[in-house]
Amino acid sequence: MRSARGKAWVLWSMVILVLVTLALPTLVIIGASFTSGDIIRFPPEGLSLRWYRALWDLGGFRAALGRTAYVSALCTLIAIPVGTLAALALARRRMRFARTIQVYLLLPFTIPLVVSGISMMMLFGEARVLGQLWPVGVALCLINLPFMIWAVSSAVNALDPELENAAMNCGAPPVTVFLTVTLPAVMPGVITGALLMFILAFNEFLVSLFLTDSRTVTLPVQIYNSIRNVITPDLAAVSVVYIVVALAAIWVLDRLVGLEIFLKSK
Amino acid sequence: MTPMVELDNVTRRFGDTAAVREASARLERGEFLTILGPSGCGKTTLLRMIAGFDRPSAGRILINGQAIDAVPPFRRSIGMVFQRLALFPHMTAAENVAYPLKMRRFDPAEIPERVERYLELVRLKGFGSRRPHEMSGGQQQRVAIARALSFSPDLLLLDEPLSALDRKLREEMQLEFRRIQQELGVTTINVTHDQREALVMSDRVVVMDAGRIQQADTPAAVYRQPSNRFVASFIGMTTVFPGMVAEAPEGIGEIIVGDVRLPARLPAGGLAPGTAVDCGLRAEQVRVVAPGAPRPETTIGGLVERRIFEGDRLVYEVRVPPLGNLTLMVFDHDPATHAEHEVGARVLLGWNARDLFVFPKETTENATRQETGPAS
Ligand SMILES: Nc1ncnc2c1ncn2[C@@H]1O[C@H](COP(=O)(O)OP(=O)(O)OP(=O)(O)O)[C@@H](O)[C@H]1O
Ligand SMILES: [Mg+2]
């Protein structure tokens, strides 16, 4: 009994420690963004929305935000069908190139993004599409697709293949089985993967740096450009925008799938 | 009349092992057939082939006299309760039951009423809006049963549909199932390794072992006239022991076991004297003969070695020195009306000659197959 309580105590202290460590930078940046002073610091000097205003008034920022949203949406829209079908095919069919594809799934950890960025710049330059915005979306989808496939694969692997047999036994032809049983069952994975893709694309910097120019600059690249000049509290405000986007994604996830699916197995 | 289902030498191999070997059987319309056998003997494999999820490596399956190789599962009018249930997790119980109705284009106006009726049939009235993970194992099993029945299939396949229920509910559901089946007249193949369930529910029982059909007969015949040693020992609690044919006239002959000759019913066709045989004696057919009571045809003395209380009966293990120190199991179904025998007590055992089963010794190939068959 006592040891159980002791264990719980140790566990809780560790959880709190981890939470604080994880949350601290975020809290600091949120605090700093509300400063009314001219330099970025914590605790802030006075409270104001001054730097949010400044951010909003900055013409470049709004355009960059819009472009980033467009690129992320495009990347997500491509990733959903491609990633879902790829994950299903990987899990269900004995494929001849299964090995190759597994290696591909590890690429995000093995190939530096600089390399991907340069090679895609060359590729798109060759295809004469560099300077447009949509190739950036496609590129982000390409480099992050493994995450989508992973998310869906975990749902597919948890799916009992007998369910599809049961559906067939109920009289459903293969396409209907896919639409009414397979797809709903892997939906949590698809939604998770889609949001992951959106967030990753929203944050992606290095590859975007290679593929954008002053007319197509996206938010992360824009931030980088302004850091090179001076660090002002509007950067903290941008960070808060990012945090808000991430929180929104988690909220959407919770509404659509239910966070408990991620926190415990069904 | 053509049988509803006919298995014609069906074999299914996985790699170099065969899950089903040369199975042939017929199932008449409206019949309730139970496949009984130990774990891993190929019951599920057989059902999956009939449902169309799997194909025989050799042999044919006919439904209504038609070979069904080319008919995909969703065009077969077969309801199935899966061993792992396979309820759709994202649908409620009612949606699960309605699914086959939608897929088979039932009149949408008729569906809710039908769903309601079948949920009621499996005693799940009021549970329609629950998801499978919000129900107990037994409730889930009953949803699966309702789903398989709701579209009035020509053929119903049950893969251990009652295994998750407690004993009382299981026994109730066995009778209930029988009632539903007779009421709807649906031809049914049930799979189980519970011999009681097989005997209670079925018109006919197919006993399988190691992928082979050992016997296909009425429950009474499977119980009273097991066709081989496996069937005899799988159904009931049977002591099997070796013997040798002494005398073999038609009908009742004599078997030498240990130092004595026991009268026994010999298999049809008879056996030559001197043939080595396996004998089987069911615990429920051996009695402890009270002094002064009428004697059965065969009696022999023994020593009580163990006594096990099982509630509705007592089980004695009795060592019988004249039978080569064989230990026989004996049931006493009514221990309240007379004295119990203590361990070490001398008792007189008795049985009738026709209750001593005799089977020719199985060939070594057969014997090793039974011992090294798929682990259960
Ligand atoms: N897909 C498969 N691949 C390889 N072997 C298989 C496969 N399916 C079944 N088997 C083997 O075939 C044999 C019969 O399996 P089956 O599932 O039909 O048994 P069962 O009689 O239904 O047993 P239980 O009562 O445990 O459900 C087993 O030895 C099993 O290991
Ligand atoms: Mg099975």
pLDDT in tens, chain B (376 residues): 788 899 999 999 998 899 999 999 999 999 999 999 999 999 999 999 999 999 999 999 999 988 888 899 999 999 999 988 899 988 999 999 999 999 999 999 999 999 999 999 888 999 999 999 999 888 898 899 999 999 999 999 999 888 877 888 788 878 878 888 888 888 999 998 888 888 888 999 999 999 999 999 999 999 988 888 899 889 888 888 989 888 766 677 889 888 888 988 887 777 888 888 899 999 888 988 888 888 888 899 999 999 888 877 888 999 998 888 889 988 887 766 667 788 888 999 999 988 888 888 876 444 444 443 344 3
DSSP E strand boundaries for B88-211 = 155-159, 187-192, 204-209
The Cα–Cα gap between A222 and B56 comes to: 64
CB contact under 8 A, A170 and B100: yes
| Residue B88 with chain A: CB contacts under 8 Å | 163, 166-167, 181, 184-185
Side chain identity, residue B183: E
CB contact under 8 A, A165 and B151: no
Side chain identity, residue B121: L
Q: Where are the alpha helices (DSSP H) in B9-92?
A: 43-51
pLDDT confidence of residue B185:
86
Interchain contact B96–A (C-beta under 8 A): no
Ligand 1 touching residue B193 (CB < 6 A): yes
Ligand 1 touching residue B139 (CB < 6 A): no
* Residue A168 forms part of a structural domain: yes
The half-sphere exposure of B98 on its side-chain side, counting CA atoms within 13 A, is: 17
- Give how far Cα A216 sits from Cα of A92, A134, A158, A212, B145, Å: 40, 10, 41, 5, 60
CB contact under 8 A, B151 and A162: no
* Residue A66 forms part of a structural domain: yes
The Cα–Cα gap between B341 and B319 comes to: 14
Predicted ipTM beyond 0.90: no
Give the contacts of A129 (CB within 8 A, at least 6 positions apart): A135
* pLDDT-derived band at A259, boundaries 50, 70, 90: low
The Cα–Cα gap between B96 and B211 comes to: 33
pLDDT confidence of residue A68:
93
**How many residue contacts between A and B have a Cβ separation below 8 Å?**
63
Beta pairing class for B78-81 and B155-159: parallel
Interchain contact B103–A (C-beta under 8 A): yes
Nearest atom within ligand 1 for CA of residue B15: 4
CB contact under 8 A, B103 and A170: yes
- Other C-beta atoms closer than 10 Å to the C-beta of A138 total 16
* Residue A88 forms part of a structural domain: yes
**Residues B281/B238, Cβ–Cβ less than 8 Å:** yes
Evaluate if pTM is beyond 0.80: no
CATH code for position A250: 1.10.3720.10
* Residue A73 forms part of a structural domain: yes
Q: What is the domain count for chain A?
A: 1
* Residue A22 forms part of a structural domain: no
SS3 B275: coil
Distance A202 CA to ligand 2 centre (A): 50
Residue A163's domain comprises 59-263
Name the β-bridge partners of B303: B319, B346
DSSP E strand boundaries for B50-117 = 58-63, 66-67, 78-81
- Chain B: nearest CA to A55, how far in angstroms? 45
CB contact under 8 A, A185 and B90: yes
Dihedral sign computed on CA atoms, order B199, B202, B208, B211: negative
pLDDT confidence of residue B137:
84
SS (H, E, C) B175-207: HHHHHHHHHHCCEEEEEECCHHHHHHHCCEEEE
Q: DSSP per residue over A91-108, as a string?
A: HHS--TTHHHHHHHHHHH
Nearest-CA residue for atom 30 of ligand 1 = B40
Interchain contact B249–A (C-beta under 8 A): no
CB contact under 8 A, B89 and A166: no
pLDDT confidence of residue B50:
94
Task: Starting from the CA of residue B35, give the closest ligand.
Answer: 1
For residue B80, the chain A residue with the least C-alpha distance is A169
* Residue A146 forms part of a structural domain: yes
pLDDT at A239 over 90: no
Residue range B46-82, pLDDT digits in tens:
999 999 999 999 999 999 988 888 899 999 999 999 9
* Residue A47 forms part of a structural domain: no
Nearest atom within ligand 1 for CA of residue B20: 14
* Residue A31 forms part of a structural domain: no
**Residues B214/B222, Cβ–Cβ less than 8 Å:** no
Mean pLDDT within A174-189: 90
Residue range A52-70, pLDDT digits in tens:
888 887 778 888 889 999 9
